[in-house]
Structure 1
């Protein structure tokens, strides 16, 4: 089942995020932030859950703009599937859920970034229809 994350998901989310960025010293998951995201109509912290266990997650942000009239766009971040449950179409189901939602609100595109070293993830995104040759991503951390 795909649903929005709850405050009580903090520990399971932490475990998933450690698989995504195992050496992060800045990771700081706050129950209050999960609640803030849940209440915001433009931001979604989604989880894929089976029998009480969270097996995957992603963040979807809906961004407003002026370029395409009233059509927003979506940004997917922090997509991760538990390493013991990969190749079960969990990531595909999460992305399909996001795509259906984005289409329902007339988004004109979905963007995502992936660490340049995550080659298997890149292959997965390309299989799902995302084109990694269209843009070059840039980040500046603070």
Structure 2
């Protein structure tokens, strides 16, 4: 039976294994730096969360969500979801949906007035998935500047 939950300290290794599917040619930070960033995330769970869905102790899907304080919209925050990935062998089984629904639920609990996410422009199958969850790909246009 799958379990969807907020990530725990010991989940880092499995989360990073999933990210190798998300960005296969990416380089990882050195282990010390990675540990420092992970600890910072865990220390600020009022603003940052990683969500995982696991089955039989294996994490099959993850994403992260950041809650951003805001001065407009009656000072209600907004949320940004990033790094959404489901193991290729576990797709179309509800793991990604469960993971994102938990993130959306967290945004609602935090009083966010909107949730945003970006997806690669060529990933049309993913776009359909996001739209099935209630996201709109036509209301706004996203812009990205990569800082390499």
Q: How does 1:48-67 map to 2 (within 5 A)?
A: 48-67=53-72
Which deviates more, 56-65 or 99-108? 99-108
- SS state of the match for residue 58, structure 1? strand
- Mapped to 2, the partners of 1:35 and 1:88 lie a distance apart of 31
Contact 2:63 2:82 in 1 (8 A): yes
Q: Residue 43 of structure 1 aligns with which residue?
A: 48
The offset of 1:132, in angstroms, is 0.4
Q: Residue 36 of structure 2 aligns with which residue?
A: 32
- SS state of the match for residue 98, structure 1? helix
Q: Residue 10 of structure 1 aligns with which residue?
A: 12
Q: Residue 136 of structure 1 aligns with which residue?
A: 141
Contact 2:53 2:95 in 1 (8 A): yes
Q: What stretches of structure 1 of length at least 5 have no aligned partner?
A: none
- SS state of the match for residue 80, structure 1? strand
- Mapped to 1, the partners of 2:5 and 2:104 lie a distance apart of 15
Q: Residue 109 of structure 1 aligns with which residue?
A: 114
Q: What stretches of structure 2 of length at least 5 have no aligned partner?
A: none
TM-score by length of 2: 0.87
Contact 1:58 1:80 in 2 (8 A): yes
Does 2:123 correspond to 1:123?
Answer: no
Q: Residue 23 of structure 1 aligns with which residue?
A: 25
The offset of 1:46, in angstroms, is 1.5
The offset of 1:48, in angstroms, is 1.2
The offset of 1:14, in angstroms, is 1.9
The offset of 1:37, in angstroms, is 0.6
The offset of 1:82, in angstroms, is 0.6
- SS state of the match for residue 140, structure 1? coil
TM-score by length of 1: 0.91
Q: Residue 83 of structure 2 aligns with which residue?
A: 78
- SS state of the match for residue 69, structure 1? helix
- Mapped to 2, the partners of 1:125 and 1:73 lie a distance apart of 18
Contact 2:52 2:59 in 1 (8 A): yes
